[in-house]
Chain A
Amino acid sequence: MKKNRIFIIGFILPCLLALFVMYLYPVVRTVAMSFFGIESVTSDVSNWTFNGIDNYIKIFTSPTFQRAMRNVLIIWIIGGIIILSIALLFAVILTSGIRFKKFFRAAIYMPNIISAVALATMWIQYIYNQDYGLLNQILSTLGLEGKNWLGTDMKFWAMLGAFCFGAVGYYMLIFINGIERIPADLGEAATIDGANKVQQFFQITLPLLRSIFKTNITFWSVNCLTFFLWSKMFSPVSTEASTVVPVVYLYDTVFGTVGNVQRDAGAGAAIGVVLAIIVGVIYFVMNKLLKDDDLEF
């Protein structure tokens, strides 16, 4: 028995250490940092000055942070509607008995497995290019005038479009998984009762996908809050108001920007805590919602 205990401790210890060093200690320290005035991330604890909720007041009154939250909200609502509806449409098409299902599924999911930096570069340097870009070529074939997609007014939407293209496949896979778990005899019974495909979709498939929708919405919400890479790729050198998101604002606050050496690690920590709390609330609310309908089929 004693030997067994040593064996268990030996096996679990590296994993526990990883949890402690990489997660527990940093999270506790970040929460603490958010209540202190700290200039540089690397400053020693002795140089921290306690300032209560000043950091939170600072970020919530900062126009950049407000803009960042607004951008994320737009991404969440509009991007969410676009991505989830296209993903659901593809999932329904691919489960309708179509040929080459596996090929289509793999091709649509593909953007998720390649480097997002490479994908973003392809969109920025090719699709949205003003001179030889695909989008302007399509527009000119249709007799419409091309646009500068990466100008200040269009940049946010260009970013959102490119991001949606890459994200659809993941949510589609989860929808497909949900649809395939619905027993086929439900559909057969409905067909016998004279329900057509559209009726079947709205009366049977959609209600049974409720828990899948919750999973997808949770993932999507968390994904939005930690949105960073695409914003960075669309404004690579200096942050622009049109594409700023909270994590970019945090990055700039903590590590400084080009031409602005003023840094504030305390405020950065406060942003991190705010984001983590929102993530926690999302999980909590979604779990509560999921509890009251334990649909088993």
Chain B
Amino acid sequence: MSKENKVVYKEKINWKKEAALLPGYLIVIIWVLFTAAFLFWILGASLSTSREIFSGSVFKFESGFHFENYINAWNTGNVSVYFLNSLLYATVTCVFVILISAPAAYVLSRFTFLGNKGIKTSLVLAMSIPEVMIIMPIYSLTAQYHIRGRILLIILYILLRVPFTTTYLLNFFASLSRSYEEAAAIDGCTPAKTFWQIMLPLVQPAIVTVTIFNFMSVWNEFFMALIFATSTETTPVGVGLLQIVNSMKYTGNYGGLFASVIIVFLPTFLLYIFLSEKIIAGVTGGGVKG
């Protein structure tokens, strides 16, 4: 109610108030302009030749738009391999994490049993353990059992996302009314069936949010990939881009490099353009209890 009043009130521009806010506007506008200028330059450079980039004439496009930078990066620069790997890792992880975490979050939030509290605490602890504490045993374990290739990274990413996803979903299941289960039980529905058909669809908004986070996290992951992606065929975008940068010294193909940067950057950026409100709400809602 009061919020609506505020909106109406705001539509009349109060110049005195706006003037007082001017320094604030200036500071954020400069920061945002800097970000925008820098992204547009990268976009411009990705459509230019290396010579144009070096002579500082990126936005003139004297020799036209070089879309072939993208085609070359995609085909000969291995970007297609990295991109499809990341897409595979991220989507498979998102699906399996929900299949593991949602049932666990449900029973942890709805049933009392021995070890319930202990598991919840362990999940939170697992989220705060530095990754360097776990990589070495995982490395020797997977070498011992000859687990390698894409399946290795997929398994690792799924397991890495379980603590966060479970903890995130816990609160949402806890907030649901018990009357759903009671009604289902009266109708003779088994607990498992109640979960899959009634309770899981009810937390759909939370699942969407947590899946966005899981997707972005796997897409942007670097440390695990650096250690466990041992061949070009299994490398995701983060490490792939590092390899492109490292080989730049020999190829000198700057246009192709910036095209690769744009390709790597685009998927999460597009997600963000459409879902920024949801993502921002998720960051402050899930991460902070304060």
Contacts and interface: CB of A to CB of B under 8 A. Distances in A.
B257 interface: yes
B44 to A, nearest CB: 10
A16 interface: yes
Contact of A42 (B32, B103, B106, B144): B144
Contact of B220 (A5, A109, A114): A114
Contacts of B268: 113-115
Interface string A123-151: 01111000110100100000000000000
B227 A102 contact: no
A132 B53 contact: yes
A12 B191 CA distance: 14
- For chain B, give the interface size range: 35 or more
Contacts of B226: 232, 251
A283 B111 CA distance: 29
B140 A42 contact: yes
Contact of B242 (A117, A134, A268): A117
B241 A215 contact: no
B24 A127 contact: no
Contacts of B133: 26-27, 30, 272-273, 275-276
- For chain A, give the interface size range: 35 or more
Given A26-B136, A117-B222, A228-B223, A21 B24 contact: no
Nearest to A116: B220
B70 interface: no
A104 B33 CA distance: 10
Interface in B238-252: 238-239, 241-242, 245-246
A125 B258 contact: yes
Interface in B113-129: 113, 119, 122-123, 125-126, 128-129
Contact of B137 (A15, A26, A109, A137): A26
A236 B242 contact: yes
A177 interface: yes
Contact of A134 (B38, B143, B271): B38
